[in-house]
């Protein structure tokens, strides 16, 4: 699979618009080459550079995305259910939906968007955490792709 964004290239700086210093809206994401056997997709955005006792800081958790879908448009509403299929989980800010990069002043962090092709839809309702989705996906992932960018 190939995961990209029209807003930034892999390794580049994330535009302020998609961060806590800007409009804090989710960036547009696109993917190609989803395996034919995939029944659903999941997307997790997290920051491994954030200091946390429970692992990377999650910024976005989306799952049960229909496997025939090829993108998430910019500015997804912060609602548990996406209008054309899919569910959003709770980020580590404590909110449903996207929470943009917001590293401490003077620090640059890396942000990983990981897309998982799954052999069946998740058995989780809206509001699941990053860890709950990863725990479920570990036995259901067919293939995964990632896009890494930075902000600071």
**DSSP string of 103-146, one letter each residue:** PPTT--EEEEEEEEEESS--S--TT--HHHHHHHHTTTEEEEEE
Confidence of residue 52 (pLDDT cuts 50, 70, 90): low
Q: What does pLDDT average to over the chain?
A: 94
Going along the chain from its start, the domains and CATH numbers come out as 2-144 (3.90.280.10)
Return the pLDDT at 84: 82
% of the chain residues with pLDDT over 70: 97
Q: Is the pLDDT of residue 51 over 70?
A: no
Cα separation of 102 and 108, whole Å?
10
């Amino acid at each position: 699979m190939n995961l990209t964004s029209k807003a930034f290239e892999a390794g580049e700086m994330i535009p302020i618009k998609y961060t806590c210093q800007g409009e804090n809206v989710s960036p547009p994401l696109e993917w190609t080459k989803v395996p034919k056997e995939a029944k659903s997709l999941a997307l997790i955005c997290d920051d491994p550079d954030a200091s946390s006792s429970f692992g990377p800081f999650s910024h976005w958790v989306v799952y049960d995305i229909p496997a025939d879908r090829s993108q998430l448009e910019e500015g997804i509403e912060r609602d548990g259910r996406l209008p054309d299929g899919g569910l959003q989980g709770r980020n580590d800010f404590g909110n449903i939906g996207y929470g943009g990069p917001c590293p401490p002043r003077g620090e640059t962090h890396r942000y990983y968007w990981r897309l998982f092709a799954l052999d069946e839809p998740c058995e989780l309702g809206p509001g699941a955490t990053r860890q709950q989705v990863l725990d479920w996906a570990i036995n259901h992932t067919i293939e995964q792709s990632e896009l890494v960018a930075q902000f600071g």
